[in-house]
Amino acid sequence: MLDERDRKLLSLLQSDADRPVNEIADLVALSASACSRRIARLREEGYIARTTIELDRRRIGLPTTVFVIVRTGSHEAGWLDKFHAAVATIPEIVEVHRLTGNFDYILKMVLPNVEHYDVVYRQLVGRIELFDMSAYISMETVKAARELPTHYA
């Protein structure tokens, strides 16, 4: 069970995992060693799944976001396994969500430019049969929160 300090620790770590432990400890009113033990416990208990860095997409040449809505003609286990394998092998596809409603999946792609969508499209349709694909180019990112709310834990 998490207490308020744990939730605050998780929030602070989400916003900047490189922040020194002594600075985090000051912000949650703990000693550095107690803070370090709590962080280790949160990691051990699975609240902290991993620690990564976030790259600047523009600086590494991937400024374009395309969302692709997919409808499939098949829902068989073999097709699903093949689809999962296909999207897993294309690095430009950074998120895939199975949906309810009129569409089956939404894919989020990060690309160097709009024209590169055709390269990824050809890779995908070469690996799996799809009923319909519709691409939507993101014109502006209005909100892209990386931090999760911690008050539900």
pLDDT, tens digit, 9 for 90 and up, residues 79-121? 999 999 999 999 999 999 999 999 999 999 999 999 999 999 9
Q: Is 4-44 a CATH 1.10.10.10 domain?
A: yes
Residues of the chain with CATH 1.10.10.10: 4-44
Instruction: For 16-70, write each residue's pLDDT tens digit.
Output: 999 999 999 999 999 999 999 999 999 999 999 999 999 999 999 999 999 999 9
| CATH class name, domain 64-137 | alpha beta
Helix (H) or strand (E) holding 64: strand 64-71
Residues of the chain with CATH 3.30.70.920: 64-137
Check whether 5 has a pLDDT greater than 90: yes
CA distance 43 to 36: 11
Q: 51: which residues sit within 8 A by CB, 6+ positions away?
A: 17
pTM, two decimals, is 0.87
